[in-house]
Structure 1
Amino acid sequence: MNMTNKMIKEDVAMISHVFLNEECEVPSFWKCMRLGLGIFVGLISWQTFFALTTENFSGGFSIFLAVFFGFIIFLSCFGMSARYYSLPEKIREESIVIRFMKTKTKYYAFSLILMYVMFTLALRMTEIFIPVACIVFLFVTFIITFMIFLADMGRYDLSLFNAAISAWRGEESDGALKKPE
């Protein structure tokens, strides 16, 4: 989907209107925790499944790394989910920018998970399976994917969107959106 500055400006106007006229809710702890907890449990289960099938001592260490890395991902997902679910439902459903970012995030996350699963399966089929290599691959791939995601999102001028949220939170001096110079 191609986005234009005009689309972003119209979306910001809609978001500002909704913020002024509707209530925002504080999402429940469980609602914020679901996605991150699912990823945490899935990562540890996947790593444990392969780590316990090897005679290597690195299996236990790889599970420890999976728990550590999974916890970092869990906290990140928790924070992002809390921000997303604290937006009014109308904004979550109708905002072009929110839908766009949600779609992009899903594509990058799916790509990362797919690469990790394929690498783990491919490495497991070899005679030199080292469980730590799988979790290190996930970590390196995560960093590279995150950098590509940031570069991709940097192409869009979302400063107006951030200005609308800042104005709603009262972070602007007069609480109004200002035209960028």
Structure 2
Amino acid sequence: MNMTNKMIKEDVAMISRIFLNEECEVPSFWKCMRLGLSIFVGLVAWQTFFALTTKNFSGGFSIVMAVGLGFIFLISCFGMSARYYSLPEEIREKSIVIRFMKTKIKYYSFSVMLMYVIFTLTLRMTEIFIPVACIGFLFVTFIITFIIFLADMGRYDLSLFNAAISAWRNEEITEDRD
């Protein structure tokens, strides 16, 4: 999707208008937790499955690393979900910027998980399967993909979007003082 500065400005104006006219809800804990929790459980289960199939259970440390990395993903997803679900539903459905960010995040996340699964399966088929290498690969892949994601997002002037949220918050504070 090609985005222009004009499209972002119009989207920011629409978001500001909706923020001023609608209430933001506080999403339920479970609604925010379910995505991160499913990633956490999937990552730990996948790593545990492969670690348990090694000789002499040499993958115990990789399970601990998977739990640690999964916890980081869980907390990150919880924070992003809380912000997303606290937006009014009209913004979530109509905003070009929100839909664009959501799509980009899905593509990057899917790419990281697909590379991890392929790497794990490929390494498992060799004689030198090392469970720690799999979780290490996931960590390195995640960091590299995150840096690429930040560079990709830096191409867009999303500071306008942040400015709209700041303006809305300042107007909300000013209204509370009156």
Sort the TM-score into its range (normalised by shorter chain).
over 0.9
Q: Return the TM-score normalized by structure 1.
A: 0.93
> 3-state SS of the aligned residue for 2:129?
coil
Q: Against the structure 1 CA distance between its residues 171 and 151, is the aligned structure 2 distance closer, same or farther, given a 3 Å change threshold?
A: farther
What residue is the counterpart of 1:49 in the other structure?
A: 49
**Pairs within 5 Å for 1:81-96:** 81-96=81-96
> 3-state SS of the aligned residue for 2:80?
helix
Q: Deviations over 1:53-101 (max 9, x none)?
A: 0015531000000000000010000000000000000000000000000
Q: Which has the higher mean CA deviation after the structures are superposed, 74-83 or 162-171? A: 162-171
RMSD of aligned C-alpha atoms?
Answer: 1.6
Aligned length: 175
What residue is the counterpart of 1:112 in the other structure?
A: 112
**Pairs within 5 Å for 1:32-71:** 32-71=32-71
The aligned amino acid for 2:93 is E
**1:167 Cα deviation (Å)?**
1.1
Structure 1: 5+ residue stretches without partners: 176-181
> 3-state SS of the aligned residue for 1:77?
helix
What residue is the counterpart of 2:97 in the other structure?
A: 97
Structure 2: 5+ residue stretches without partners: none
Q: Which has the higher mean CA deviation after the structures are superposed, 57-66 or 16-25? A: 57-66
Q: Against the structure 1 CA distance between its residues 137 and 120, is the aligned structure 2 distance closer, same or farther, given a 3 Å change threshold?
A: same
Q: Which has the higher mean CA deviation after the structures are superposed, 48-57 or 2-11? A: 48-57
The aligned amino acid for 1:73 is F
What residue is the counterpart of 2:153 in the other structure?
A: 153
Q: Return the TM-score normalized by structure 2.
A: 0.95
Query: Share of identical aligned residues, percent?
Result: 85
